[in-house]
Amino acid sequence: MARSVNKVILVGNLGKDPEVRHLENGAVVANFSLATSESYKDRNSGELVSNTDWHNIVLWRGLAEIAEKFLKKGDKVYVEGKLRNRSYQDQEGATKYITEIVGDNLVMMGKPEGGTPSMENSSASPKVNEYTGETEDDDDLPF
């Protein structure tokens, strides 16, 4: 049987502070919009053109609690999760459709350029790993 993959990886900036709800069953859920941008040079005019896409992010339980404590509008984050499409009835009874990314991994990458980090060192905060791609043995590689 063939397997399928539903995997989304985004790096972008929060469009607003997370909206966090504590549900009756004790679960915590956080929702926020995430902007991702790409730029390219227009072939005809030579001008730099930027496009921004907005994504609806949903985090549950521990990730929602981290979002509530540490994330603010403008913060840069790495979100990994799965794409989910769902429908619901609005107050007028009309069916609405929404596409969301349900996150299962979150890395806080800091404030936008020129800002200050949104969190202080904390045992609850995820760590960002840095890798430069260089090792001591790189000189011995044949390529």
Per-residue pLDDT for the chain (143 aa), expressed as one digit of tens each? Answer: 679 999 999 999 999 999 999 999 999 999 999 999 999 999 999 999 999 999 999 999 999 999 999 999 999 999 999 999 999 999 999 999 999 999 999 999 977 655 554 443 333 344 444 333 444 444 555 54
Alpha carbon distances (Å) from 9 to 45, 55, 57 = 32, 11, 11
Q: State how far the Cα of 117 lies from the Cα of 106, in Å rounded to an integer.
A: 16
Query: Residue 20: which of 67, 52, 56 has the closest Cα?
Result: 67
What pLDDT is stored for residue 112 in this prediction?
63
What pLDDT is stored for residue 137 in this prediction?
46
Report pTM: 0.73
What domains appear along the chain, each with residue ranges and CATH number? Answer: 8-140 (2.40.50.140)
Question: Phi, psi at residue 130, to the nearest 5°?
Answer: -110, 135
Alpha carbon distances (Å) from 30 to 20, 21, 36, 71, 94 = 4, 6, 19, 10, 24
How remote is the C-alpha of 68 from its chain's centroid? 14
Q: State how far the Cα of 121 lies from the Cα of 123, in Å rounded to an integer.
A: 7
Say whether 52 sits in a helix, a strand or coil: strand
What pLDDT is stored for residue 110 in this prediction?
78
